[in-house]
Amino acid sequence: MALKGLDIFKLTPKTNCKACGNPTCMAFAMKVAQGTVTLDKCPHLSEEALAALGEAAAPPMKSLKIGAGKAEHSLGGETVLFRHDKTFVSKSLYAVTVNPENIDGKLPELARVDYERIGERMYVELINVEYSGDKEAFLGAVKKAAETGRTLILDVQDTEAAKAALELVKDAKPVLNGANESNYKEMSALALEAGVVLGVGGGSLDGIYDTLTALEGLGNKNLIIDVGSASVKEAFANAVQIRRGALKDGNRSAGYPSLVNAAKLAPDNGTMQLALASLFTVKYGSIVILSGMSYAQALPLYGLRQNIFTDPQKPMKVEPGIYSINGADENSVCATTVDFALTYFIISGEIERSGVPVNLLISDAGGYSVLTAWAAGKLSAGSLARFFKEQAIEGKIKNRSLIIPGKVAVLKGELEENLPGWQIIVAPNEAVGLVKFLKELKG
């Protein structure tokens, strides 16, 4: 049930509260309900009141932490079904599954998917280590996977093997995925002792709910739900029902993140696994496991994830600076555009297609598109002149030709005044014309 201002008001003292300055504390109560203030800011709330309100104030989907140190990741904490309602909180994480037979070949491949896009590191965050029946071989694979520094998922239902694996890596806070109707007591005891998240699965959604209820009765609420691998249809239905049950129906027994094993849903079919990873990034996999991932597969998948899990109220921006394209050096022509990520990728892509070396200068335009930035005063002759000074452009680049977007050709005269010695060249209005334009400019 959602926390309301009146719920808080009933449990707050009727004094002249220093937290809100209101003798009835109603202002403070409403601020808490709106999420702008946290409960601990009120100095008058008793421990009993904090305990009573704390759980109600928490998101309907529990927030979890997995991994440790630099490899720590967040799961859950979601409050809406659809991104456009507000925003998603914790991005989907991707894992590659390994076993003792293929781990030596997969780990080097996994390391190749590691790059930066719009200020965010794109890499395989997790490694899922499968238990295939040989305890010693499994432990050897766990050791090798742990050496990568990635957070591990221990995919094991055998309690003895799980216990031995946790002894090796419990400090790194892996996910122990293997609890079901038959072994949940033993697995929960292991997870609670090690302080790790426990993955819960079952033969049906009803069975999973029963196991979740039993685990909560044992005092374990550090859980993630494995949606199953019997079929794509069933896994998808489970993921959606779990999310809707928690966020729309207020069923906190379903309020846990979901794990989807696409490697089991589409074995030996990498293309289908990639499609399923895209599907469950949108609907609603907190962790998605694949059998492998190449650099080419990662590009569209991580691009999708970044779009889905970016706050729609905050535009994606690239860092201001000099971006050398096609091997550009200090003697190469310069071009400039805004820091809106979509604009940057379109323009840089067309420049790459031309094959002409260009120093692309990106200034801080507030994350707006070209015309919007110009209309808002974020892209002007003055702002570009300041950018040139702050970045010491003239000390880094000898070429004195600057190409500006065609849609702000009006800036040409002012730029020639603000940047003496520079030749200002107006580009075509549309990016698609850049290839021909640059080739002709180069001669």
Domain with CATH 3.20.20.20 in the chain: 63-308
Residues of the chain with CATH 1.10.15.40: 5-57
What is the predicted pLDDT for the residue at 310?
Answer: 82
379-387 mean pLDDT: 95
Please name the residues in contact with 305: beta carbons below 8 A apart, sequence gap of 6 or more: 91, 92, 281
For residue 322, the tally of other CB atoms under 10 A from its CB is 15
pLDDT of 60: 86
Return the CATH number of 5-57, one of 3.50.50.60, 3.40.1500.10, 3.30.750.24, 1.10.15.40: 1.10.15.40
More confident residue, 6 or 285: 285
Class of the CATH-defined domain 321-442? alpha beta
| pLDDT at residue 101, rounded to an integer | 95
- Res. 190: pLDDT tops 80: yes
What's the whole-model pTM score?
A: 0.79
The reported pLDDT for the residue numbered 291 is: 95
What does the pLDDT look like over 253-262, one tens digit per residue? 889 999 999 9
d(CA 264, CA 289): 9
pLDDT at 1: 42
Q: Which CATH number applies to 63-308?
A: 3.20.20.20
What does the pLDDT read at residue 156?
97
255 vs 1, higher pLDDT: 255
Arithmetic mean of pLDDT, 56-79: 90
Average pLDDT over residues 336-364: 94
Residue 432: pLDDT above 50?
A: yes
Q: Which residue has the higher pLDDT, 67 or 315?
A: 67
Lowest mean pLDDT among 49-58, 77-86, 300-309: 49-58
Confidence band for 5, pLDDT divided at 50, 70 and 90: very low
What rounded mean pLDDT belongs to the chain?
89
Helix or strand (DSSP H, E) at 425: strand 423-426
Return the pLDDT at 333: 96
- Strand partners for 333: 358
Q: State the pLDDT at residue 56.
A: 64
Q: List where CATH 3.40.50.11600 sits in the chain.
A: 321-442
The pLDDT-based confidence of 16 (bands split at 50, 70, 90) is: very low
Strands 120-123 and 126-130: unpaired
Q: How many CB atoms lie within 10 A of CB 391?
A: 17
Three-state DSSP at 121 gives: strand
Strand order in the sheet with 423-426: 321-325, 358-362, 333-337, 401-404, 423-426
> What whole-number distance in Å separates Cα of residue 180 and Cα of residue 202?
5
Whole-number pLDDT of residue 28: 67
Provide the pairing of β-strand 197-200 with 175-179. parallel
pLDDT at residue 122 above 80?
yes
Collect all residues with Cβ–Cβ distance below 8 Å to 189 and sequence separation of at least 6: none
| CA proximity to 167, closest of 178, 180, 154 | 154
Amino acid identity, position 38: T
Decide which of 29 and 367 is more confident. 367
pLDDT at 15: 45
Average pLDDT score over residue span 226-246: 94
